[in-house]
Amino acid sequence: MQRLVTLSLAVALSGWAAMAQGPAVNLALGRPYVSNAPVLPGWTGLVDGDRESDSAPACFATANSPEYPKHVTIDLGGQCTINKVVVYNSGNGNTRTVSLASSPDAQNYKLLREPDFIFADRDPLFLSVAFQPRVARYVRITFRDTWKGGLGGDNCLFLREVEVYGQAGKEMRDDPLKLAATQPPFETDRAVSIFRRYCLEQPGDLDIAVIGDLTVIDADKEGHWATVAANALRRFYPDKRLTVEIAGGTSGSIAYGLEWAQERRGSLAPDLVLLSYGAQAAAAKADVNEFRVKYQGLVNELLTHTAALVVAITPPPYLSSAAGPTGENAERGTWPYAWAVEQVAQSQQLPLVRTASVLARVTDAADRASLLLDSQHLGGAGHQALGIAIADLLR
């Protein structure tokens, strides 16, 4: 049976009284979130409403990476008034010291409780922290350390669920990049080092292929992010002859990508495949699990039948300044599909580029205004930023 830790009763009572004008609801349910550490493939149930499960996908877990602190940040979607956060620990072990904070702008965070709380090891305790009502859009849970010896390795940290209670504010889609800025722009692994040593640093041609739904640019091919990446790499490897094939097809569908890959079975080219999917699936409100399965199938085809280094690229977010979807479609955004790409990439040990995190690092106001042409196509500044990030990953 779970035990409850209730903190600051007097503060809680005053907070509830102040919010008596309306019912408190779980504002975190189904909301997007990001992690500054890799998430264990399939273990994504941080805000899915399941408080009881210690298994994937209902339970949340970070991957077994030793870097601390780790944190996850939930986007409530607007300036909400919150007065309680509940964190459900898992019986899988490792989760130890946690801190809770909120922010109205994803930059200035204020602790919700001092000092940090220490969960008992492997105890499905849940921590309830009540406080005076405050305005917040983002809620962050920070993991300071580990008990070690838990499921999956010493540094896999688990939570069953996080709930944030209060009253919803006006929905705001003005800058989803604020949340993305809390993640690294890319993840690399040993495959990139091998590619660098045996492809980039050796004489000869290098063939780059792009398949996916981020392949269109209204200008000529020279402005495309893959060409920007190739040009940046040429500056570091001037003796290499790099060629770029942008092969997205008119539909940019995974089916087209699979057909393209099957036609090249056993071929020595390309040396590098840049795989960019998710934007069209989001626009069509495609089933996320179906998208993940199809994307996994394409990745398997490439890894099994080609010798190319495959780099996974997540879709960009919808921005309110772009002429993109509205209503329910804009509400959902691209984040579930970005998660699907990231989970497949991690399970297959693919290097990963997070497009939203790349775009979030563009600080010039004029460039930010031209990041996207619409909900599925990058603008000039977006192509430039993404291309430079890919080059930085590879070089």
Q: Check for a shared fold between 4-172 and 180-394.
A: no
Block means of pLDDT (10 residues each) for the chain, 395 residues, are 42 44 81 90 92 96 95 92 97 98 93 96 96 96 98 97 92 70 89 93 91 66 88 92 79 86 88 93 89 96 94 82 40 80 91 94 85 79 95 95
The predicted pLDDT at position 377 comes to 79
Read off the pLDDT of residues 304-363 as tens digits, 9 standing for 90 and up. Answer: 999 999 999 999 886 544 444 333 444 457 888 998 999 899 889 999 999 999 999 998
Query: What number of CA atoms fall less than 13 Å from residue 81's CA on the CB side?
Result: 12
In this prediction, residue 329 carries a pLDDT of 40
Q: Which helix (H) or strand (E) holds 342?
A: helix 335-347
**Length of the chain in residues, anyone?**
395
Query: Whose CA is closest to 164, among 207, 199, 129?
Result: 129
Domain definitions of the chain by residue range: 4-172, 180-394
Please give the pLDDT value at position 282: 87
CATH class of 4-172: mainly beta
Domain 180-394 has CATH 3.40.190.10: no
pLDDT tens sequence across 332-341: 578 889 989 9
pLDDT at 370: 86
Contacts of 20 (CB under 8 A, 6+ apart): none
The phi and psi torsions of 329 (rounded to 5 degrees) equal -65, -45
